[in-house]
Homo-oligomer: A and B are copies of this chain.
């Protein structure tokens, strides 16, 4: 385990921006006197997202809030952007489309700077799509409010690779996504499924443990004990069957040990 890794704040979308702002307050607190960079690369309405978060984080006391968009402004050159990102203490990925983040931002030098920042102990936060991209393999799409079928309708892709061994899903209870996360982890029980409700976050420290923050629940789906499943052998279109999943439902303050796969009450 690489103990030099930093902290991930993985948010299930629609975090409170006006009242208690519990989650964003924690993100702001982590920036301290340093720079918080808002990365709007997931969004087509990049300027609006930037403006909203800039105002919120400024209200929450962050001194330096900077913007990382896909397209540089005319007055910036690449070296300046990289230098600015190198100074960041927290990078916050806004929501939108996770494929925009990975297909357009993945593999760039700026993206490598984000990964280095995390390796050096920095904080990477992300909400909604910005949450899904953090793992090695990410969930891109798959319908909610239905049970899933073999080799049908579940789209996964390589993520930013900040954390291994987990698959992250967001807007979890609100969009009825447990079917798709069960199907996803059944593809490879090595991965632990983390389903995060809206206005809820997991704060993952050094790849090894997390605690829950916010007003919803976090569902942890552990498929390592599965005794039977038809994901590999079933005919395409058959309902995915999986026997022997372990499921934990966590609330604010609960902790989870990612190595032992064991939850702990507050």
Contacts and interface: CB of A to CB of B under 8 A. Distances in A.
A145 B251 contact: no
Contacts of A239: 215-217, 249, 251-252
Interface residues of A, number: 36
A196 to B, nearest CB: 11
A240 interface: yes
B254 A249 contact: no
Contact of A217 (B147, B197, B243): B147
B246 A246 contact: yes
A222 B215 CA distance: 26
Interface string A179-202: 100100000000000000100000
Nearest to A147: B217
A11 to B, nearest CB: 15
Given A215-B239, A263-B243, A145 B145 contact: yes
A242 interface: yes
B176 A147 contact: no
Contact of A251 (B146, B241, B252): B241
A144 B145 CA distance: 10
Given A144-B176, A147-B197, A243-B248, 13 more contacts: A145-B174, A145-B176, A146-B174, A146-B197, A147-B249, A173-B176, A175-B176, A182-B249, A221-B247, A230-B265, A242-B248, A244-B246, A245-B246
